[in-house]
Chains A and B, each alone.
Chain A
């Protein structure tokens, strides 16, 4: 009898040890997140660093609960170098596909840098049914494709602000400027890329339909560094607003030239280099008065969304104050929240099966650094004007002595738009 009891005890002990061993083995395998993007570009590298920050935070809390087992995240990056105009799309696709096949990520975050690359990757990624959370490309063509074939692209989601919302922000701001200051003459100057052209043309159309006079529309190739003809045009045709949309480092020259040429027009739009906190010092105050779009909060902390401030502070703690002050206005906070969105979806799905994660992603409803995060039927995070209801971008104005003051949307505004001193 004693011998039987002993045998039964040993048996249960053995089974317990086996289960424990299996559980340890399973728990040791991390959840792999792939980040294939243009790692030399500020938007991408800041997004990647933000994703790494989120991974570190989640892992520090024990990881993600997957069907009762905690697993850590592991991030793998690939520099697609797609910021170079000469890099063919098929080379980018080959690189991303290699990452998918060799490293076998459970999901991809951040994603393509160029809209053209993103649209091409959509077809390739759809083949692998891999959850893909895009945080940089703005193109409106993403949602058009989702509408046309939702089943094919079911696994693809976009976290960052989209073109229609940026248009909403710009047009609402123009309404305000018209009401407050009587402005109605505008000149557009646009970097010649798909998303920016779509945005500018839509805003131009709105202007024409709403009684504005569009005095000019100048598109420049990526990398252009001389805007003197456009500024001369703005002055000659008495533009009251110059509407730039650029992300390149060279676009900062527009600000320098505008001040040198004493162009008496307020700049309202998106100048990538001038979204960064250190821009006032770098440009020696020449950004004063610029009303610039930050594509999501977080890069700019806003008081009404505490998580945006927490993210901003944590980024500085991990990567240093210098890099925090250089955070660009598009991508980083979305990259950070993308990891949390994924973690939440995996936890709710209880599995690492791609289809299950996708179903869980569709039902996302969490609060992140960018505001309230939910997806619409086209898998686009819903952006709006109130962070309690949607994710938000932020139009801010540079004011003396060198601060970025959020001015729109009103629920997050911390000041009003002032006309800069160089405009009479």
Chain B
């Protein structure tokens, strides 16, 4: 059982990293908590499905178009809606939440929730690791997760755009005084966050089916990981994902899978009570701010 928990826990944790990293990045740079995150995850899945099923495009092209499309939609959402209410946190949350629910309910209304809505795996088959047969898609998810983290590290440390994003995240006013456009970087962060969730969707959805309920689960997951790990910290996302990922697998293995969602909710409440900024969060505690 132990090797099974270790391996399944790792896969589960990387899945959580993939889901949450875009949400955290967007918030860390632009300060926008994108509550349409789950809807964009689903949107990229349905986009890929439609391109693959109806146009018969090669799958790598389908992936590219889906990621770019959803990234662009994130940018459009910022420019058309969020730019006007930037800084009004409650309005940003309500607006993105409304957009997200509208997208999810639209797909539900269209009847897009049967088992026929699924994406093909990258490679069929499975291999044995420590007595556990793990399908190649799950192994691919682990590598994609690691590659994404490496890419992000390289991007924010060694590219002009990435450094600009980091500058805005660290101190917006100083970055603006150096000529970095705050609105432009916020838009880029929305686009990047949306593109990252599209990558997550393309990687994870082949394990199951594309269903509107998945969108709500993804939002809850991203929130839980971001709150536990810290909203503006990539290290926090990774640690938060490991904590939640392994907790879920242990609870499901030794108690009951019914409690897997409860793990998220307990983690959110627990962290908010003990350390509201999250384990690696950069926001100052209330006492410090006062």
- Stretch binding the partner chain, chosen from A55-63, A229-237, A359-367, A407-415: A229-237
Tell me whether B257 and A224 are in contact (CB under 8 A).
yes
Tell me whether B261 and A221 are in contact (CB under 8 A).
yes
Tell me whether B256 and A232 are in contact (CB under 8 A).
no
Tell me whether B211 and A220 are in contact (CB under 8 A).
no
Q: Which residues of A contact B115 (CB under 8 A)?
A: 249-250, 252, 273, 282-283
Once A253-B207, A261-B133 are accepted as A-B contacts, the answer to whether A219 and B114 lie under 8 Å apart by CB is: no
CA distance A218 to B253 in the complex (A): 9
Tell me if A228 is interfacial: C-beta within 8 Å of chain B: yes
Tell me if B58 is interfacial: C-beta within 8 Å of chain A: no
Q: Which residues of A contact B132 (CB under 8 A)?
A: 232, 235, 261
Binary CB contact string for chain B from 236 to 268 against chain A (1 if under 8 A, 0 otherwise): 000000000000010011001110110000000
CA distance A233 to B258 in the complex (A): 16
Kindly identify, within residues 216 to 252 of chain A, every residue whose CB is under 8 Å from any CB belonging to chain B: 218-221, 223-230, 232-233, 235-236, 249-250, 252
CA distance A224 to B1 in the complex (A): 22
Once A249-B114, A260-B126, A260-B133 are accepted as A-B contacts, the answer to whether A225 and B258 lie under 8 Å apart by CB is: no
Q: Which residues of A contact B260 (CB under 8 A)?
A: 221, 224
Q: Which residue of A lies closest to B252 (CB)?
A: A229
Once A192-B258, A221-B258, A261-B132 are accepted as A-B contacts, the answer to whether A229 and B249 lie under 8 Å apart by CB is: yes
Known: A192-B258, A228-B11, A253-B207. 9 other contacts (CB 8 A): A219-B256, A223-B213, A224-B260, A232-B8, A232-B132, A257-B135, A261-B133, A262-B133, A282-B116
Tell me if B217 is interfacial: C-beta within 8 Å of chain A: yes
Tell me whether A226 and B208 are in contact (CB under 8 A).
yes
Kindly identify, within residues 200 to 219 of chain B, every residue whose CB is under 8 Å from any CB belonging to chain A: 207-209, 211, 213-214, 217
In the assembled complex, the CB of B104 is this many whole angstroms from the nearest CB of chain A, namely 11
Once A40-B111, A228-B8 are accepted as A-B contacts, the answer to whether A236 and B1 lie under 8 Å apart by CB is: yes
CA distance A249 to B209 in the complex (A): 8
In the assembled complex, the CB of A386 is this many whole angstroms from the nearest CB of chain B, namely 33
Tell me whether A250 and B208 are in contact (CB under 8 A).
yes
List 3 A-B pairs, minimum CB-CB distance, nearest first. Answer: A260-B135, A229-B252, A225-B208
Tell me if B86 is interfacial: C-beta within 8 Å of chain A: no
Question: Contact check: which of B8, B108, B116, B207 meets A229 at CB < 8 Å?
Answer: B8
Question: Contact check: which of A220, A236, A250 meets B209 at CB < 8 Å?
Answer: A250
Q: Which residue of B lies closest to A189 (CB)?
A: B257
In the assembled complex, the CB of B190 is this many whole angstroms from the nearest CB of chain A, namely 27
Tell me if B113 is interfacial: C-beta within 8 Å of chain A: yes
Q: Which residue of B lies closest to A274 (CB)?
A: B115
Tell me if B47 is interfacial: C-beta within 8 Å of chain A: no
Question: Contact check: which of A219, A221, A229, A256 meets B253 at CB < 8 Å?
Answer: A229
Residue ranges of A at the interface with B (Cβ–Cβ < 8 Å): 40, 42, 192, 218-221, 223-230, 232-233, 235-236, 249-250, 252-253, 256-257, 260-262, 273, 282-283
Q: Which residues of B contact A252 (CB under 8 A)?
A: 115, 209
CA distance A223 to B113 in the complex (A): 11
Q: Which residues of B contact A236 (CB under 8 A)?
A: 1, 4
CA distance A361 to B249 in the complex (A): 51
Inter-chain contact total with CB atoms closer than 8 Å: 87
Tell me whether B257 and A220 are in contact (CB under 8 A).
yes
Choose among A226, A233, A257, A282 the residue with the greatest number of B CB atoms under 10 Å from its CB.
A226
In the assembled complex, the CB of B46 is this many whole angstroms from the nearest CB of chain A, namely 14
Complex A-B: 21 CB contacts under 8 Å: A218-B252, A218-B257, A219-B257, A219-B258, A223-B217, A225-B209, A226-B12, A227-B257, A229-B4, A229-B252, A230-B257, A232-B132, A232-B253, A249-B209, A250-B208, A253-B207, A253-B208, A253-B209, A260-B135, A261-B126, A273-B115
Q: Which residues of B contact A40 (CB under 8 A)?
A: 108-109, 111, 113
CA distance A253 to B137 in the complex (A): 14
Tell me whether A42 and B114 are in contact (CB under 8 A).
yes
Q: Which residue of B lies closest to A232 (CB)?
A: B4
Q: Which residues of A contact B252 (CB under 8 A)?
A: 218, 229-230
Q: Which residues of A contact B217 (CB under 8 A)?
A: 223
CA distance A42 to B113 in the complex (A): 10
Q: Which residue of B lies closest to A41 (CB)?
A: B113
Q: Which residues of B contact A262 (CB under 8 A)?
A: 126, 133
Kindly identify, within residues 168 to 214 of chain B, every residue whose CB is under 8 Å from any CB belonging to chain A: 207-209, 211, 213-214
Once A260-B126, A260-B135 are accepted as A-B contacts, the answer to whether A229 and B257 lie under 8 Å apart by CB is: yes
CA distance A385 to B51 in the complex (A): 47
CA distance A410 to B132 in the complex (A): 38
Q: Which residue of B lies closest to A39 (CB)?
A: B111
Q: Which residue of B lies closest to A222 (CB)?
A: B213
Q: Which residues of B contact A249 (CB under 8 A)?
A: 113-115, 209, 211
CA distance A205 to B108 in the complex (A): 38
In the assembled complex, the CB of B118 is this many whole angstroms from the nearest CB of chain A, namely 8
CA distance A262 to B257 in the complex (A): 21
CA distance A253 to B119 in the complex (A): 12
Q: Which residue of A lies closest to B213 (CB)?
A: A223
Q: Which residue of A lies closest to B251 (CB)?
A: A229
CA distance A129 to B210 in the complex (A): 42
Q: Which residues of B contact A223 (CB under 8 A)?
A: 211, 213, 217
CA distance A226 to B207 in the complex (A): 9
Q: Which residues of B contact A230 (CB under 8 A)?
A: 252, 257
Q: Which residues of A contact B211 (CB under 8 A)?
A: 223, 225, 249-250
Kindly identify, within residues 128 to 156 of chain B, every residue whose CB is under 8 Å from any CB belonging to chain A: 132-135
Question: Contact check: which of A192, A225, A273 meets B214 at CB < 8 Å?
Answer: A225
CA distance A235 to B146 in the complex (A): 29
Q: Which residue of B lies closest to A271 (CB)?
A: B115
In the assembled complex, the CB of A30 is this many whole angstroms from the nearest CB of chain B, namely 29
Q: Which residues of B contact A224 (CB under 8 A)?
A: 257, 260
In the assembled complex, the CB of A196 is this many whole angstroms from the nearest CB of chain B, namely 13
Q: Which residues of A contact B249 (CB under 8 A)?
A: 229
In the assembled complex, the CB of B122 is this many whole angstroms from the nearest CB of chain A, namely 13
Q: Which residues of B contact A257 (CB under 8 A)?
A: 135, 207
CA distance A227 to B211 in the complex (A): 17
